[in-house]
């Protein structure tokens, strides 16, 4: 393992934790990105604005880092059709399971929510199984 990459991982993780905490401190909201994006499609009353602003912030942060440090981004090795299917699975899964890597994996686990811990273990397990299957089957990448 690359030590500097581990340091960047720690620093980036701490920044994510601070960003989620600021959202809670200032607006009283939890930083689950899947839920925030999904809420843009079917927003409860007066809920659209802050969600759109958060997503705009994500895009702006991505643009900034893309300019300063383009190697932080990379393409997925999966084929385009498979990417659309994977996206649909993540979209439906986020709604059905009530959270994603940030909502369950970071915010939920931080407050020791049993649901979040079960969700996180579940998606890490099925993710690992799929990665192993793709490697064994040799395709589609």
| Cβ atoms of residues 40 and 48 within 8 Å | yes
Distances, alpha carbon 133 to alpha carbons 93, 104, 123, in Å: 20, 25, 15
Among 74, 137, 138, 139, interactor with other proteins by CB under 8 A = 74
CB of 120 to other proteins, least distance (A): 8
Q: How far apart are CA 78 and CA 76, in angstroms?
A: 5
| Cα within 13 Å of Cα(54), Cβ side | 24
| Cβ atoms of residues 128 and 139 within 8 Å | no
Burial degree of 77 (CB within 10 A; 0-12, 13-18, 19+)? exposed
Q: Is 45 in the site for other proteins (CB under 8 A)?
A: no
Q: Is 75 in the site for other proteins (CB under 8 A)?
A: yes
CB of 134 to other proteins, least distance (A): 7
* Binding to other proteins in span 82-121, by CB under 8 A: 82-102, 104-107, 109-115, 118-120
Counting residues that bind other proteins (by CB under 8 A) gives: 109
Residue span 10-39 as binding mask against other proteins, x where in contact by CB under 8 A, dash where not: xxxxxxxxxxxxxxxxxxxxxx-xx--xx-
Q: Is 139 in the site for other proteins (CB under 8 A)?
A: no
Q: Is 137 in the site for other proteins (CB under 8 A)?
A: no
CB of 32 to other proteins, least distance (A): 8
């Amino acid at each position: 393992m690359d030590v500097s990459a581990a340091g960047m991982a720690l620093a980036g993780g701490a920044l994510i934790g601070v960003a989620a905490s600021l959202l809670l401190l200032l607006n009283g909201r939890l930083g689950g990105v899947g839920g925030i994006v999904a809420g843009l499609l079917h927003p409860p009353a007066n809920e659209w604005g802050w969600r759109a602003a958060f997503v705009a912030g994500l895009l702006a942060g991505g643009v900034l880092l893309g300019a300063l440090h383009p190697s932080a981004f990379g393409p997925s090795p999966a084929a385009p059709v498979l990417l659309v299917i994977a996206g649909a699975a993540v979209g439906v899964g986020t709604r059905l399971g009530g959270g994603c890597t940030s909502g369950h994996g970071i915010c939920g686990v931080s407050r020791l929510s049993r649901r979040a811990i079960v969700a996180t273990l579940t998606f890490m397990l099925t993710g690992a199984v799929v990665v192993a299957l793709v490697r064994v089957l040799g395709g589609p990448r």
